[in-house]
Structure 1
Amino acid sequence: MPIGVIINSIAVLFGGIIGAFLGNRVPGRIRTSLPLIFGVASMSMGITTIVQMHTLPAVILAVIVGTAIGELIQFEKGIEIWANKARGPVEKLFSSKAGIENPKEFMDQFVGIVILFCASGTGVFGALQSGMTGDHTILLTKSILDFFTAGIFAAALGYMVAAIFIPQFIVLLILFFAASFIMPLTTPAMLADFTACGGILMLATGFRICGIQSFPIGNMLPAMVIVMPLSWIWITYCKF
């Protein structure tokens, strides 16, 4: 039973709804400054996980090749198209407008938090661990953090943040059921490189949320798929 996945997604849903509902009541300076704090927090979490890296060449190669693949298939463009299509109906449903009206600023922050909720190393590893061992501790802990994170971002971005629970639930549920097939094929070194790759994405996400540099986070996601195979290949065949 994917208890951790369900609770994590519900936390994002209710955190987003509550944050969006309180959005107009939260002072503008708070709605502007707190996302910057979460951007810094994302960078900090990224740095913390990057230091767990085992095979630097494999991880860097995964990020480069994965980003190239993402650029070719325009993965982030798909996220933006989905977000733009869903934004109107969601805001109409709740009869509200997001605090951020600038489309580019809105999309930069929205894509960033989609990655935070759906593709962070903590969430992916937590879903895999939950599916393999039945231990939901990581996802339950992440649920607490995601509840407040969703609330803060929703105060600025509106009810669209709550809608992120849908792709998050799908991604984590797939990982949960795939865990029994994936985990036996992994090694501690492969998991460390996987976590470090997620950390690089989270670091780039922090830069994007803070408006320092708009990294193509969505297009970097394929790196998460290929990093463990590349890690295994490098460890097995490239012993210099």
Structure 2
Amino acid sequence: MVLFGTLVNGVLIVVGSILGLFFTKIPERYKETVMHGIGLAVILIGLQMAFESDGIIIVLLSLLSGAIIGELIHLEEGLNRLGTWIGSKFTTTNDNFSVAQGFVTASLIFVIGAMSVIGALDSGIRGDHEILITKGVIDGFVALVLTTTLGFGVVFSVVPVVVYQGSIALFATQIEKWLPEAFLNGLITEVTAVGGLLIVAIGFNLLKVVTIRIGNLLPSIFTVALIYYIYYII
């Protein structure tokens, strides 16, 4: 079953989020310190991913083009409105922002990254779900901690996770017919690097060092494919 790993990942996020609801009464100072710890770990993970790049110019052009597209279409505002709309169906008006923040933050953390891409590709190409199941265990734990701080909006992140990873897995069942292995390996490396820098940005936001509109940088995950293709054929 091509989507088995993706579905397990989604279920573990939901379970982690539900468990996190039972720990929302933890004192704020504990939540703040735990969130700082997560922020530091997220930055480390992002840096490790970013250093995998073989072409910094590809990463730079991807981020620049992605940022321009994101700002033009106001992607982050749209994500926040989506989160707020979801929140309005379950909470009072005063809680909507918290739900949106939880949804957007968790979605970015769970969707962006090497494990999402590589795991989904493994599921589709080789029928190996080990990476996505491992990612699901990690995501479940992170969802638990995020829910104690950001609220139950975190649970809605399961939707983009399942759609994103499921789409890649389904696409991967046909990808080897179109793309040579060398190109595919190089593309995964550069996507990982771009995703790593976005994860670093998430860490900075969690630490409240600076406010980065990460949502408006998301198109870079897709523009890197076009830029790498041009680089590959030149």
Q: By the TM > 0.5 criterion, same fold?
A: yes
Shift of 1:210: 1.2
Please tell me whether the aligned partners of residues 46 and 197 of structure 2 are also in contact (alpha carbons under 8 angstroms): yes
Shift of 1:88: 3.1
Q: Paired residue for 2:138, among 134, 141, 145?
A: 145
Partner of 2:17: 16
Partner of 1:222: 219
Distance 1:62 1:69, change over 3 A: same
Please tell me whether the aligned partners of residues 103 and 157 of structure 2 are also in contact (alpha carbons under 8 angstroms): no
Uncovered stretches (5+) of structure 2, i.e. residues with no partner: none
Please tell me whether the aligned partners of residues 115 and 131 of structure 2 are also in contact (alpha carbons under 8 angstroms): yes
The 3-state SS of whatever aligns with 1:90 is coil
Structure 1, residues 161-197: CA drift from partner, whole Å, max 9, x if none?
1121122111111111111344552332222111111
Matched, 1:31 2:31: yes
Tell me the TM-score normalized by structure 2. 0.90
Tell me the TM-score normalized by structure 1. 0.87
Distance 1:91 1:107, change over 3 A: closer
Shift of 1:203: 0.8
Shift of 1:232: 2.5
Shift of 1:235: 3.3
Matched, 1:45 2:45: yes
Shift of 1:155: 0.6
For residues 59 and 147 of structure 2, the distance between their equivalents in structure 1, rounded to whole angstroms, comes to 33
Q: Paired residue for 1:117, among 96, 110, 124?
A: 110
The 3-state SS of whatever aligns with 2:90 is helix
Partner of 2:75: 75
Please tell me whether the aligned partners of residues 69 and 216 of structure 2 are also in contact (alpha carbons under 8 angstroms): yes
Shift of 1:109: 5.9
Identical-residue share of aligned pairs (%): 28
Displacement over 6 Å in runs of 4+: none
RMSD (Å), alpha carbons = 2.2
Distance 1:4 1:128, change over 3 A: same
Q: Which runs of structure 2 are paired with 1:1-240 in the superposition (5 Å)? A: 1=1, 2-24=3-25, 26-91=26-91, 103=97, 110-182=103-175, 184-185=178-179, 186-237=183-234
Structure 1, residues 6-40: CA drift from partner, whole Å, max 9, x if none?
0101111111111022212x232222221221111
Shift of 1:84: 0.8
The 3-state SS of whatever aligns with 2:208 is coil
Aligned letter for 2:131?
Answer: I
Please tell me whether the aligned partners of residues 112 and 208 of structure 1 are also in contact (alpha carbons under 8 angstroms): no
Structure 1, residues 69-125: CA drift from partner, whole Å, max 9, x if none?
011111111110011111233346xxxx99xx694x875565332211122232122
For residues 113 and 89 of structure 2, the distance between their equivalents in structure 1, rounded to whole angstroms, comes to 27
Distance 1:158 1:28, change over 3 A: same
